[in-house]
Amino acid sequence: MPFHYFYDPVRFLSEFLYTGIIVLLCFLIYFKTKEVYDLTKYEGIRYFRNAFIFFGLAYIARFALPFLQLSGAAFGIITQRIMVFPLFMVIVSYLSTMAIFYLTYSTIWKKIKYKNFITLSNITAAALSIIAFLTRSPFILSMLQFLLLVFAIIITAKKHKKGKKKSYIKALYFSVFFFWLINLFVLDTRSFFRFEFKIIFQIISVIIFVIIFFRIKKWIK
């Protein structure tokens, strides 16, 4: 998940609204699926829910750095970016990587033991966090997570091949993956897109996530 660098009020407000909407939807999805999980105890739903908790926490962590820096500037406090930025990269890297793993595991949990999954996921997430800390490069982190997403898409496509219900679930997962891809590359403020275009992509991204939310509501009925 890329970081955003902004101090312009318009940029800050757009990022604040965008982050707020996505975080709200993440937690709504988590709580909307609680009842169906309590009734069915279906493990796939459990891991699917966990993915959105990690998604939401990753977005909160990503927005926290510029918020603290802007708050510090407003109160005359100098925030040491060179010290704080790597720490936030580690946190965001770990949370967002775990979100990808949980989303993937929700489709393959019958084939891999949960203990093995947790061990592998935490080792990989920790490794990416170390790479993010050492390189200080959001781009490298984005590329590594992109590879994880490609892997997740391939697994999901193989898992849900045929059937109306499976096609619906696959469309749901692919919507989440597409949303994540937009955030990895298009919404990175250091990319070549102008701010005006990024606003458009933020709106598209929110629309996609709203569609995901209503797909999930329909899915759990």
Write phi, then psi, for 193 (nearest 5 degrees).
-75, 140
* Residue 61 confidence class, pLDDT cut points 50, 70, 90: confident
Alpha-carbon dihedral of residues 139, 144, 150, 156, nearest 10 degrees? -120
Q: What is the CA radius of gyration of the chain?
A: 18
Query: Which string of DSSP letters, residue by residue, matches 93-112?
Result: HHHHHHHHHHHHHHHHTTTS
Confidence band for 2, pLDDT divided at 50, 70 and 90: low
pTM of the model: 0.81
- Joined tokens for residue 76: 């005359």
User: Nearest CA to 67 among 129, 107, 126, 7?
Assistant: 7
Domains of the chain, each with CATH number or no CATH: 9-219 (1.20.1070.10)
Residue 219 has pLDDT above 80, yes or no: no
Average pLDDT over residues 151-168: 68
pLDDT digits (tens, 9 = 90+) for 173-198: 778 877 877 777 655 545 555 667 77
**CA nearest to 52, candidates 185, 213, 171, 168:** 213
CA 191/CA 193 separation, integer angstroms: 6
pLDDT digits (tens, 9 = 90+) for 110-152: 888 888 888 999 999 999 999 988 887 777 888 888 888 888 8
